[in-house]
């Protein structure tokens, strides 16, 4: 290989590697971390937890099974959600 070709290609290769590392550290890694945290939340939901759903509904878990959770959103008002709809615990 011609030495001048190497000096032309090397900066491009280094730039591409740096861009891939920046993309990974700013986009892919934080999304993977957030997905793991959400999976933990869904897995650890229990009766009595106060949650906020993806749709913005606030409620208290009154029943939970493998796939669904029942939230009490007002006195004597219960709504069934997919467990994965829970986005975060209230305060």
Judgement on whether residues 86 and 59 belong to the same structural domain of the protein? yes
Judgement on whether residues 54 and 91 belong to the same structural domain of the protein? yes
Judgement on whether residues 1 and 34 belong to the same structural domain of the protein? yes
- Whole domain around residue 66: which residue ranges? 46-91
Other CB atoms within a 10 A radius of the CB of residue 61 amount to 20
Question: What is the C-alpha to C-alpha distance for residues 62 and 50, in angstroms, rounded to an integer?
Answer: 10
Judgement on whether residues 66 and 35 belong to the same structural domain of the protein? no
Instruction: Tell me what percent of the residues of the chain surpass a pLDDT of 90.
Output: 87
The 10s digit of each residue's pLDDT in 49-90 is 999 999 999 999 999 999 999 999 999 999 999 999 999 999
Q: Where does the pLDDT of residue 7 fall: very low under 50, low under 70, confident under 90, or very high at 90 and above?
A: confident
Q: Where does the pLDDT of residue 1 fall: very low under 50, low under 70, confident under 90, or very high at 90 and above?
A: low
pTM over 0.75: no
Closest residue by Cα to residue 83 from 35, 27, 42, 34: 42
Q: Are 78 and 60 in contact (CB under 8 A)?
A: no
């Amino acid at each position: 290989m011609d030495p001048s070709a190497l000096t032309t290609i090397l900066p491009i290769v280094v730039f591409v590697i740096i861009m891939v590392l920046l993309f990974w550290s700013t986009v892919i890694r934080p999304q993977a971390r957030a997905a793991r945290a959400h999976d933990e939340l869904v897995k650890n939901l229990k009766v009595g937890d106060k949650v906020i759903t993806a749709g913005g509904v606030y409620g208290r878990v009154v029943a939970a099974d493998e796939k669904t959770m029942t939230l009490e959103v007002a006195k004597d008002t219960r709504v069934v959600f997919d467990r994965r709809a829970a986005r975060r615990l209230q305060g």
